[in-house]
Each structure stands twice: as structure tokens, then as C-alpha cells.
Amino acid sequence: MQKPVSSQIPRGVGCPPPPGMDPRKGKGRLMCIKVRMLDDSVGVFHLGHKALGQALFDEVCRHLNLLESDYFGLEFISFGNRCWLDKDKSILRQIMAAQSDARFFFTVKFYTPNPAELEEEYTRYLFALQLRRDLARGELLCNESTAALLVSFIIQSECGDYSPLDYPDYRYVSSGNVQFVPNQSPAFQKEVMEQHKKLIGMSPAEADFNLLETARRCDFYGIRLHNARDLEGVEVALSVAHMGIKMFHQLNCMMTFSWAKIRKLCFKRKRLMIKIHPDSAQQYKETVEFIFDNRDDCKNFWKKCVEHHSFFRCPEPVESRESRKLFHRGSNFHYQGRTQKQLMDYVREHRKRREPFKRPLQRSFIHPINTKAPIFPPIYGNQQQFQQPQQFQQPQQQHYFISNRLSENNKNRQAVENTQKLIMNITSMANQNGNFIGNSINNTKRSTGEEIITRENGERKTRPK
């Protein structure tokens, strides 16, 4: 008789035991997996040693209460390369290590070309966090004016309206050592402040939407560069997006292979081959080849192309064909998940049953993100950086600026108390020194930078000599 499975919730997971656990004796060992979210929080999940990637991804989405989950994915570092967690394979098999502590990163996988297609505000909020991270790392390249506009939307969403009392000068943009862009200069901060002044009255949801609308027009929106070479040995960089495959040379987009023009996409060892339709061969060669440094890099990029094509172009995922031969060549990889069309239909059916998204409380200081820690090393970087990440030091003086999110009643009550204390102090000083009350009030108000208090009839009254 088989023993019943224990209903105790594993430590670190706010949900029932994962499906990857085997209830048989000796088979239910758990491994600790840490996932860094987009807001720099770390979730700890316990799964069985034979758990698949789908089990971990479902646990993360359940922990975040995320409905539009197919836009996102779990990323990890494998021998210096950024790879997506394959949902239909074992986790330990993909990270190629038998350690009990694995580290993953929850990030945006498919950057939508139209933010209006995102049905939920919570999804747009997560996209905004991803774009802020891309901008700080230098991956979302744009001119300085566009970057200042993007940063102003981020500050408006997180801190609210601009206030001269809370933000006396441009230095509030970098309060707490916050870096929105690499090499952030004082001139850039002044431009951000001027853009922030124009956004008074904009809600956080509107600021996130405008951030996505502005970022999607940038050439490097959702771009992840992969180093390669053409047949002539010229170094290029390839990237896959919703419209197709882009080729860059010295950060300039030289060519775009749209999905409609690609007839076949395959790889052989470290060569990636793009076969073009005959009607498009006048502009391109019939077959375009690119050479990567090794086979793993080539296959990794090919898999990303297959996933992007299936998600954005196919109405439903293409099932893999089982080979009848005992030995077969090539890869049987296919996209696991819902396409964009299936996801939008699913969300529209289940959105009414959801609770509204509760945004984090706004604050007058800017919350820093972990951009100093080597979360992801550069392309073909050192794996040692990933294994021993630096711990981000939270700034000591986060509440440097006065909060501008007090209610009106609290503001009025505080103003009355301050005025009463001020009048009592001035009266005592006047009695001791024989100074005029009016002059004391004026001098005190000028020194504190507050408004001058007058009588009801608008006149100042002073004690006679």
C-alpha cells in the first residue's frame, strides 16, 4: 500500500508541493532554487531533483499571481551565455551541475511591439521594471533626450508629481546613488527634472504605458546582441525580435530579415543558415550564413529564433514530429507555451475573475535597483561572476527628501502644530529680548523657507516701543 503524500507546504513556497516531487521513498529529495524577480526580491522555491523547468516556472508565476505569464521566462547563465530555461527538460540537466542551490532570473522574454496588447496593468508594470533595468545596463540604447524622457516616466510612476519642496534641485534624480543610465551626468539630470515637471497629474499606470510606448520606438527595444561573423570574416551582431532577425555592425542595424521573407532557418555545427524566399532574393542572397564561435552559441540563438517566430507569427504552437527512424540528425526543439494570440484570448476570458493590481506605495525617494551587481556578465563573459555575485548595499539615507504623499489632513494638522510652536518660540524670544513679533516672524520664516504668516486682515501688527 502506497503511503499518502504529505500536505505540508515546502519552505519558501507559498503553494502546495510542486508536481516535480516523487512521493516514493528516497525519491523526494528537494533542491533549493533561488529566483531573482524584476523588483530585486528573491524567491526561494523547493522542487524535486527530477523536476522539469515547467514546474519551476509555474511556481514562480503562481507566487507572483501573474496571468499573462507567457511574455516572461527564467534565464540562467551557462558557461558565460545567457540561456532560457527549457520547460520540457530537467532543471539539473540544463544547469549542468549537481548543486542543491541554483540561481535563476525572472525577466521579459517576448517584448510586445504594441503595449496596448497587454491586457493587465500588472503586466505593464513588470515590463516597465524590465525597461528600467535595460536602460541602466546600457542595453536599451537611445539618444540623451529620449533617455531623459524615459527616466521621467519612471520617476513619475514611482514618486509621483514633481514638487519644489521635495525636490529642490536636480540632484534628486541621483538620490541614493541611483543610476538610470551609464555615466549619468548633471546635465542629463537637469533634463530629466525638466521633463518630470511636465508630467504633473499623470497617474502611475499612465506613466508605465507612456514608458512602453516611447521605448518600443527605439531601435534597441528588446534587443539582445549575439556576436557572430559573416562569410567574409566581418564581425557582426545578431538579434531576434518580433518582426524577424536583425544584423548589426558597430551598433548600426545593417539588415533585417523579416519572418515573411525567411523560407527556412537552420544551423549546422557553428553555422547559422537563413534561406530566403525566391521573390525576395533580389534584395538578399538566396542563403545567408553566419558563423558563431561554437556550436552551443549557434544553437542557443537558433532556439530563440524558433521561439520568437512561434510566439508572434503562429496562431498555435507547432507540435514536434516524432521521428520514425532509430537514429536521426538535427534538433527536435520546438516552442513550449501559448502563442500571443492564444494568450490574449485566454486573458480576455479570465480577466473578470481577477483582483485589481495593488501598486506599491509611492515615495518621494527613488528606489535603487541592483545594477552594480553582475547579474548577467557580458556576452561570452566569465561564469565566475555569476557564481559569486556581489551583494548590493542598500543606501543608508533613503529618506533624504520629505515625503509628498501625506494626506491633506495630515499636512494641515502638521502645519497648525508647527505654526503654534513657532509663535510660542517667537513670543518667548520677544519677551526676553524686546524684539518685535512681526520682525521675528519674518526673519524666522525667511530662514526656514516657509510662507510668511499674516493676520486675518492682511496686516502685520507689532508691539509699540
CATH number assigned to the domain comprising residue 132: 1.20.80.10
Q: Are residues 122 and 217 in the same domain?
A: yes
- pLDDT tens profile 285-300: 788 999 999 888 899 8
* Residue carrying C-alpha cell 529680548: 433
| Averaged pLDDT for residues 436-464 | 42
Assess if residue 461 is contained within a domain: no
Residue 460 — very low, low, confident or very high, per pLDDT cuts 50/70/90?
A: very low
* CA–CA separation, 336 and 103 (whole Å): 22
Show Cβ contacts of residue 156 under 8 Å, excluding neighbours closer than 6 positions.
Answer: 196, 199, 202, 204, 207
Q: Nearest 10 degrees: CA dihedral of 419, 423, 424, 428?
A: 160
Q: Are residues 135 and 56 in the same domain?
A: no
Residue 338 near residue 69, CB atoms below 8 Å? no
Residue 10 — very low, low, confident or very high, per pLDDT cuts 50/70/90?
A: very low
Show Cβ contacts of residue 401 under 8 Å, excluding neighbours closer than 6 positions.
Answer: 166, 167, 172, 175, 364, 365
Residue 132 near residue 369, CB atoms below 8 Å? yes
Assess if residue 65 is contained within a domain: yes
Assigned C-alpha cell, 253: 542595424
Reduce the DSSP state of residue 41 to 3 states and report it. coil
Assess if residue 10 is contained within a domain: no
Q: What was the pLDDT predicted at 167?
A: 86
Q: Are residues 230 and 311 in the same domain?
A: yes
Domain of 39, in residue numbers: 30-108
pTM score: 0.71
The amino acid sitting at 18 is P
Let me know the angle formed at the C-alpha of 53 by 61 and 22, rounded to the nearest 5 degrees: 100
- pLDDT tens profile 23-47: 444 455 788 899 999 999 999 999 9
Residue 267 near residue 298, CB atoms below 8 Å? yes
> In the predicted model, is pLDDT for residue 165 greater than 80?
yes
Assess if residue 120 is contained within a domain: yes
Residue 421's Cβ-side half-sphere holds a number of Cα atoms within 13 Å equal to: 6
Assess if residue 238 is contained within a domain: yes
Q: Which of 48, 83, 108 is the last residue of a domain?
A: 108
Show Cβ contacts of residue 289 under 8 Å, excluding neighbours closer than 6 positions.
Answer: 230, 231, 271, 272, 273, 274
Q: What was the pLDDT predicted at 284?
A: 62
Reduce the DSSP state of residue 313 to 3 states and report it. helix
Task: Give residue 107's Cα distance to chain centre.
Answer: 6
> In the predicted model, is pLDDT for residue 370 greater than 80?
no
Q: Are residues 49 and 66 in the same domain?
A: yes
> In the predicted model, is pLDDT for residue 279 greater than 50?
yes
The amino acid sitting at 310 is S
Q: Are residues 217 and 127 in the same domain?
A: yes
CATH number for the domain harbouring residue 36:
3.10.20.90
The amino acid sitting at 106 is F
* CA–CA separation, 8 and 46 (whole Å): 12
Q: Are residues 209 and 133 in the same domain?
A: yes
Q: Are residues 234 and 204 in the same domain?
A: no
Mean pLDDT of the chain: 75
Residue 217: CB atoms within 10 A of its CB come to 9
Assess if residue 346 is contained within a domain: no
Q: Sign (positive/negative) of CA torsion 73, 77, 83, 85? A: negative
Q: Which of 108, 125, 149 is the last residue of a domain?
A: 108
* Residue carrying C-alpha cell 539630470: 189
Q: How many domains does the chain have?
A: 4
Q: Are residues 71 and 99 in the same domain?
A: yes
* Residue carrying C-alpha cell 557564481: 387
Reduce the DSSP state of residue 254 to 3 states and report it. strand
CATH number for the domain harbouring residue 254:
2.30.29.30
Assess if residue 255 is contained within a domain: yes
Q: Which has the minimum average pLDDT: 279-283, 285-289, 364-368? A: 364-368
In 160-294, which residue ranges form alpha helices assigned H by DSSP?
186-197, 204-215
Beta bridge partners of 236: 228
Under DSSP, the state recorded for 305 is: H
Q: Are residues 278 and 292 in the same domain?
A: yes
Q: What is the separation, in whole angstroms, between the first and last Cα of the chain?
A: 103
Assigned C-alpha cell, 97: 551541475
The full DSSP string for 423-460 is HHHHHHHHHHH---HHHHHHHHHHHHT-PPP--TTS--
Q: Are residues 313 and 272 in the same domain?
A: yes
Q: Are residues 203 and 254 in the same domain?
A: no
Residue 298's Cβ-side half-sphere holds a number of Cα atoms within 13 Å equal to: 20
> In the predicted model, is pLDDT for residue 140 greater than 80?
yes
Q: Are residues 210 and 121 in the same domain?
A: yes
